[in-house]
Amino acid sequence: MNRDRTFNNRRTGYQYRSKARRDQPRDAVFQTLRRVEEDDAFANLVLPIEIERHHLNRRDAAFATELAYGTLRLQGRYDAILSRLTDRPLKELDPEVMTVLRMGTHEILGMRVENYAAVDSSVDLARDRISSGPAGMINAVLRRVTQKPLEEWLDLITAGLSEEKSLAVAFSYPEWIVWALKDSLVASGREAAELPQLLHAQNAPAYVTLSARPTLVTADELAIAAETYLDVDTRLGELSREAVVISGGDPRRLRLVTRGYAGVEDEGSQFLVDILTAVPVSGTERTWVDLCAGPGGKTALLAGFAKEKDVSVIANEVAEHRAELVKDSVKALRDTVTVITGDGRDFGAKHPGKADRVLVDAPCSGLGSLRRRPEARWRKQPADLQDLAPLQRDLLHSAAQATKPGGVLAYATCSPHLSETRALVQSVLEKREDLELLDATEFAKLAAVNPAHDFGPGPFLQLWPDRDDTDAMFMALMRKQETHEN
């Protein structure tokens, strides 16, 4: 293991092989993309099933993952290119033909695949899964894609566009998301000129990160186990002391994960728990609450810290099936955690002043985890955020009611959008005199592996993929004052 917290990338390219073997990874990707489009399925759930069904080895599974996720992320860019190479509007083409064209374009412009292999395999896939009819058109279109490098295609499809529209097409985002990310960057103290590097980082595949749960296993022990049993490179977290980043492999093969001693959790998510537990609280601590606990990753980490302090954790989750996921996540810490099913908006009224620490990991748009959910950017609409806002506010009010005087409350989202983050928190603070906003960046420095890490200006904490190598997690910290409840 590399103690300098870096590791070599073991990603391997995919070689052009005989047809029988060549079609298996691509067929798994084709089936995944069709499920994503037809059934609104999630690629991160469907693809592993297809990989297993097609009996892909580790090398082919890595190829399939890169092809599936890259095609989904960059389909906006590729559609802009393909629209210049077809005789009909893309919306008039058969959806299955579009899937093959997008896959082939990504192989040509986004992967280390020889042009002839990308074109020929796409034609073979079309013949196998659609018919021989469109094979000639697919062959002709993809051969035209090969005639220009990516840089020339990007210049062509962005020519004459406004800055935001150009970035949206080049980096493959809906334009409203580009505007939202730009506004959030500026609000968090960064320069608008940094937007392209953020968009690029959101398009880069995220490494899998494991979370070592305190009292059960250390990060060093978890890293050694991952290297030994998964045959991967590892590095320790840059921010969270519990984080172990792995270069590949299936965490489900790791016994520490299946037993609940460790879990899979983005380092940013882990770090928010580190920060919450680093804030001083007056009096003897007895109870911590995770108000929106499903699926349980943060709950389990919170429980590990709670066990060290002989504190109990209440994990509340509104959906029964997600409550079952929480129970599975905390199975190694079941003596510390009580999992209940209920509406978090009602928790505060039922348990006023119950908790010393409360975490509100609020339901949100998920715009901060686009690198892990490649199809999400094409499914989200601005109206989705408007629908979520009342729920987020009510949960924050409920959490404040559940926090004891002198206790601390953390509001978190996996979204940098201003309407879900600082604007929402400020709207709640305007109506509550019993909450004092703390500087989350100062406590982040106390909790971080590297206290010199630049988290930007406070009082809110906004993590970024390009700066912090995490999902774009947001956090606001508040302390409950000895005043009358609103």
| Residues forming the active site | 414
Nearest to 304 by CA among 398, 241, 369: 241
CB atoms within 10 A of CB 219: 21
Q: 3-state SS string over 266-335?
A: CHHHHHHHHHHHHCCCCCCCCEEEECCCCCCHHHHHHHHHHHHCCCEEEEEECCHHHHHHHHHHCHHHCC
Q: Is 110 annotated as a binding residue?
A: no
Q: Is residue 403 classed as helix, strand or coil in its secondary structure?
A: strand
CA distance 155 to 160: 10
Q: Is 364 annotated as a binding residue?
A: no
CB atoms within 10 A of CB 76: 18
Q: Is 248 annotated as a binding residue?
A: no
Which residue shows structure tokens 């715009």? 367
Q: Is the peptide bond before 251 cis (omega within 30 degrees of 0)?
A: no
Q: Is 361 annotated as a binding residue?
A: yes
Using CA atoms, how far residue 292 sits from 176, 355, 440, 479, in Å, is 28, 14, 20, 19
Sequence-ordered list of residues with C-beta below 8 angstroms from that of 430, at least 6 positions apart, any chain: none
Which residue shows structure tokens 């172990």? 244
Q: Is 445 annotated as a binding residue?
A: no
Q: Is 40 annotated as a binding residue?
A: no
Contact 288, 314 (CB under 8 A): yes
Nearest to 401 by CA among 486, 306, 288: 486
Nearest to 118 by CA among 152, 78, 77: 78
Q: Is 368 annotated as a binding residue?
A: no
Sequence-ordered list of residues with C-beta below 8 angstroms from that of 352, at least 6 positions apart, any chain: 401, 402, 485
Sequence-ordered list of residues with C-beta below 8 angstroms from that of 130, at least 6 positions apart, any chain: 94, 96, 97, 100
Using CA atoms, how far residue 409 sits from 346, 356, 401, 405, in Å, is 16, 8, 10, 11
Q: Is 317 annotated as a binding residue?
A: yes
Q: Is 295 annotated as a binding residue?
A: yes
CA distance 67 to 62: 9
Q: Is residue 479 classed as helix, strand or coil in its secondary structure?
A: strand
Stated length of the chain: 486
Q: Is the peptide bond before 295 cis (omega within 30 degrees of 0)?
A: yes
CA distance 119 to 143: 7
Q: Is 343 annotated as a binding residue?
A: yes
Question: Within 13 Å and on the Cβ side, how many CA atoms surround 318?
Answer: 13
By CB atoms closer than 10 A (0-12, 13-18, 19+), residue 66 is: buried
Residues flagged as binding site: 292-298, 317, 343, 361
Residues flagged as binding site for S-adenosyl-L-methionine: 292-298, 317, 343, 361
